[in-house]
A = this chain, B = another copy of it.
Amino acid sequence: MSPNFSIAEENYIKSIYNLQQVNDAVSTTALAEHLKSKPASITDMLKKLQAKGLLLYNPYKTFRLSKEGIKAALSIIRRHRLWESFLVHKLQFSWEEVHEVAEELEHVRSKKLIDKLDGFLGYPKFDPHGDPIPDTNGKINIQQQLPLSSLPLNKQAIITAVQDQSSELLSFLSSLKIVIGTRLEIKRRLAFDNSLEIKCRNRQPVNISEQVANAIQVNPL
């Protein structure tokens, strides 16, 4: 008897989950931006989610999902990622265009459908973006994390975190379109300074220093 949430609620739950993966707790403004809505609307929904026991929330403070909320989030994320896999592997959608469609499909709430789809796809462990797919029970493969500098040559990996107090590095990387979630591999390792030539999907390779590579955490696929 897993409870049923409205589409709006599901979107909030998923967004909060995604944001708190990065920052541990979420602010009203951040969530409003993520959902392209207004802070006042967020407050409305926070109260509803808290009343349902999905959210740990004190007025004027940041908030995060409860155990229950995380369970709900993982089930929504499972649906999303399985549909993305279906779209790419069965319907030949390209990697970039699946998100929007999966965003709609994920709201079809039939456990049987999703479990059958999972089987049809061969119980994939990762979606086409390299993100892990939670299993029927909501268990998600803990992402193995290592510094980019220790990633073997030509092995694909996803950026999971960037160690950076100043956020200078973060903005440098994001100017290169390298952000958390970006999939990349190392094409070359230059011996004289240990700098790396990295390649993101279909983009031109870029060169980064050993120090930067040490600060980037990745999850090998």
Report which A residues bind B (CB closer than 8 A).
87, 90-93, 97, 100-101, 104-105, 107-110, 112-113, 116-117, 120
Assess whether B91 is in contact with A101, with CB atoms less than 8 Å apart: no
| Distance between Cα atoms of A116 and B93 in the complex (Å) | 9
A112 to chain B, nearest CB (A): 8
The contact of A101 among B92, B101, B104, B110, by CB within 8 Å, is B110
Question: Which of B91, B105, B117 contacts A116, CB < 8 Å?
Answer: B91
Which listed residue (B101, B117, B120) contacts A108, Cβ 8 A? Answer: B101
Q: Given A91-B116, A101-B113, 8 other A-B contacts at CB below 8 A? A: A87-B113, A91-B120, A93-B112, A93-B116, A101-B112, A104-B107, A104-B110, A105-B108
Q: Name which residue of chain B comes closest to A92, CB basis.
A: B116
Q: Contacts of A107 on B, CB cut-off 8 Å?
A: 104
CB-CB under 8 A from A112, the residues of chain B are 93, 97, 101
> How far apart are the CA atoms of A110 and B101 in the complex, in Å?
7
Q: Give the residue of B91, B113, B117 whose beta carbon is less than 8 angstroms from that of A113.
A: B91
Count this chain's copies in the assembly: 2
Residues of B close to A100: CB separation below 8 A: 110
**Assembled-state Cα–Cα distance A105/B112 (Å):** 14
Q: Which residue of B lies closest to A100 (CB)?
A: B110
Q: A113 CA to B91 CA in the complex, in Å? A: 8
Across chains A and B, which 9 residue pairs bring their CB atoms closest together, nearest first?
A91-B116, A104-B108, A101-B110, A101-B113, A91-B120, A105-B108, A90-B120, A91-B117, A92-B116
Which chain B residues border A120 with CB–CB below 8 Å?
Answer: 90-91
User: For residue A115, which residue of chain B has the nearest CB?
Assistant: B91
Q: Which residue of B lies closest to A110 (CB)?
A: B101
Residue of A104, A110, A112, A113 contacting most chain B CB atoms (<10 Å)? A113
A117 contacts which chain B residues (CB < 8 A)? 91
- What CA separation (Å) do A85 and B203 show in the bound complex? 38
